[in-house]
Chain A
Amino acid sequence: MADTSHASSVQKAPFIALAKPFSPEDEVALREALKRCSPSTFEAAVQFRKTGNPEHLPAVVIGVVERYVEPELRVKLKDAADDLRMIEDLGIDSLTMMEIVILVEDVLQMTINNEELRNLRTVGDVKAFIDCKVRGLPPPKPTKFLPIEHIASVMPIQPPFLFINEASVSSLGASGKYKISGQEFFLQGHFKDNPVMPASIMLEALGQLAVLYLLEGLVPEPGKAVSPNMIFFTGCEGVRAHRICKPGDILSLSIKPKRQKMPLATFEGIIRVGQEKAVIAEEITLTFGFVDAVVAPVENQATEGAQLSASSSNPPLHAAVTSS
């Protein structure tokens, strides 16, 4: 089965051949353009311009973003977590995004379109986008923000056993939040007079986020869709609980795809409460399957009242003619 994971396809794609050699004048211009960035950003940019190796890109991108972030917020970039949100966490508005893009265009000698910018919501999005641009690949699906209504409408899992309040999903992974309300039915018994979120339920929450990723983040083959009714837990490895979580705690969930070979998908996951680690799962494996994607019915004004088939195997016009 073809490997559809984006992460591994990026590792295999070759560098783009360099369009122009890197002259001393170019280096002077580059130094001027990056004069307000850290020295390591300049070094990474020089290496990229000389070799074309995309491994240097994350350092350049983070360096340029950092230069435009307010000094007090720069510390957030130190961990360079991919799900750091440009607007909410780093205070970068759309005008600052334009400044970042113009400097990146200048430094990497590339052109970036307006439409492509609008979808860049997290640091991870920006890195993936630049990486794909440089390799000549189409950009990955942008991060989607999913509120509870959307999550409930697509997931096979529902309350009282749904442990995600909101989520962000991209082709690179998913993050989510769940607030332990204290009203969860199992807390009455776990423990008596001392409500504590069971570790197994927290592992379940990570698994549910992985289900959401499969349904909303994974890019399937054309004509196919992941079926919500075929996703089941098959196993986990290296699960550790570090923190007792109680009503009022907000669980920050995060999963990343690790490997995929049909019908299995394996993820790594972590739950944090604030900055503290609560649960780590080195591997969570789910089984899943595809079905044909649904084709929307075509309206045919000549045969009102005709029953139109929703299946792609029965062309609408044929159905209209044969059913009258």
Chain B
Amino acid sequence: MPRAFITGLGFITSIGNDSTVVEQSLRNLKHGFELYPPFDKPDIPCKVMGTVKGFFTDSADQEDWTYPKGYAFKRELMRTMAPHGLYAHCALTQAITDAKLTDLDVSNLNTGLYTSSGGSPMLTNYHHGRVEALGVMRCSPFGIVASIVGTLNFNLVAAFKIQGSSCGFSSACASSAHALGFAYDEITLGRQKRMFVVGAEDGNKDAILPFAGMRTLSLQTDPNIASRPFDGARDGFVGTGGATVLVIESEDEVMRRGVTPYCEVLGWGQASDGYNVAISHPEGAGLQVAMKHALHASKINPDQVDYINAHATSTLIGDISEVKAIKAVFPQASTKPWVSSTKALTGHGLSLAGAMESAFSALAIKKGFTPGSAHISKVDQACEGINILQKTEAVAPRIVMKNASGFGGANVSVIFKQV
């Protein structure tokens, strides 16, 4: 069975639009939050967002959008994009350069693309509004392809001329972890030699505000403490958007091209809570099984895992479920592995989270650090019993586990290994 390696990364995130800045943010525990102007209204209770910098996408008219220097987009390319489509295109461009891929490496029968996003509520609202106000035939011909959940694969497969496997994954906050797992399968099953894994979200008012109604968003007004997974005073998550792309290649491709990978993807597992539409299982039942499956598929024991990049979003219930699951799977949990949630720095990227945080893990392994869990004043009593790393350590973890859990009780766990 072929092995799979991560060979390229691309980032458009609240903590940096390239891996150098992202690395610095993770090492120095520098967050990407600010008071979000669209939330600055008396009837909006949440105020903080993990904002993507350097872009303007708060318009349904793509010709109003701006993006950083170094990228160039023709109107014909942008007209079918959601805001997160723009982020994803930039991140994929970065990842291709990072992995030193040529156009032929990108567009061939053996290279595929898996994506995940929640679609663009902003554009969906806008286009439906046009249908209501102006009539059916005045709806933009691009309304659907720019708005619905598949928008990332429609756009990226066409723009980058992808000829291999392509699909979108939809399991809420576990989506891009699912995409990563299934992309790994494409390679280890010998179906593809290279897979791009893309996670992206708009991270704007329309995408995040519905969560306020669910009472899952932090109502903190101080950007420095609003997102604090595992902390006793946490009160919900902070939203974020952007995009992250990982390039996964088979061992043969790595050898043929003579590149040095970030890490190996050792294996993955998934399981479901079967419990509640939105609330995680109190004992983290599905996540326990997912982690066990991942360890088994990777042929390693729990005591070999150095670091878990947790799903922990800073919600009252979710963080506890994960802690319980970790304690159940790792007998030495109080000392090993280290656990942290980088959502304290970035916010919760929803569909983006799995890919973004896997990419952080790959970066940490390659560059020799283990990111800490920021903004903790006092660990919640209910979260005690695991080894929460509160400051970044300048140590490369050799084996990392990445967890992701989504609505309905989807749980995914992926394992990475230093090469």
Contact = CB atoms under 8 A, between A and B. Distances in A.
Interface of A: 36, 68, 70, 93, 95-96, 98-99, 102, 105-106, 111
A92 to B, nearest CB: 10
Interface string B116-160: 000000000000000000000110111000000000000000000
Nearest to A114: B137
Q: For this complex, into which size category does the number of interface residues on chain B fall?
A: 10 to 19
A70 to B, nearest CB: 7
A20 to B, nearest CB: 16
A106 B76 contact: no
Contacts of A99: 79, 140-141
B256 interface: no
A98 B141 contact: yes
Contacts of A111: 137
B76 A102 contact: no
A105 B140 CA distance: 12
B138 A96 contact: no
Contacts of B299: none
B141 A106 contact: no
B74 interface: yes
Given A102-B137, A105-B137, A111-B137, 20 more contacts: A36-B63, A68-B75, A70-B74, A70-B75, A70-B76, A93-B76, A95-B76, A95-B79, A95-B141, A95-B142, A96-B76, A98-B141, A99-B79, A99-B140, A99-B141, A102-B138, A102-B140, A102-B141, A105-B138, A106-B138
Nearest to A68: B75
B383 to A, nearest CB: 52
A70 B74 CA distance: 8
B158 to A, nearest CB: 11
A72 B178 CA distance: 43
A105 B130 CA distance: 14
Nearest to B134: A106
Nearest to B139: A102
A31 to B, nearest CB: 15
Contacts of B79: 95, 99
A70 B142 CA distance: 18
20 contacts: A36-B63, A68-B75, A70-B74, A70-B76, A93-B76, A95-B76, A95-B79, A95-B141, A95-B142, A96-B76, A98-B141, A99-B140, A99-B141, A102-B137, A102-B138, A102-B140, A102-B141, A105-B138, A106-B138, A111-B137
Instruction: List 5 A-B pairs, minimum CB-CB distance, nearest first.
Output: A98-B141, A95-B141, A102-B138, A36-B63, A70-B74
Contacts of A105: 137-138
B366 to A, nearest CB: 40
A96 B76 CA distance: 8
B85 to A, nearest CB: 16
Contacts of A70: 74-76
Contacts of A96: 76
B65 to A, nearest CB: 14
B74 to A, nearest CB: 7
B134 to A, nearest CB: 8
A196 to B, nearest CB: 44
B88 to A, nearest CB: 20
B285 to A, nearest CB: 48
Nearest to B138: A102
A93 B80 CA distance: 14
Contacts of B76: 70, 93, 95-96
Contacts of B137: 102, 105, 111
Interface in B50-99: 63, 74-76, 79
B307 to A, nearest CB: 47
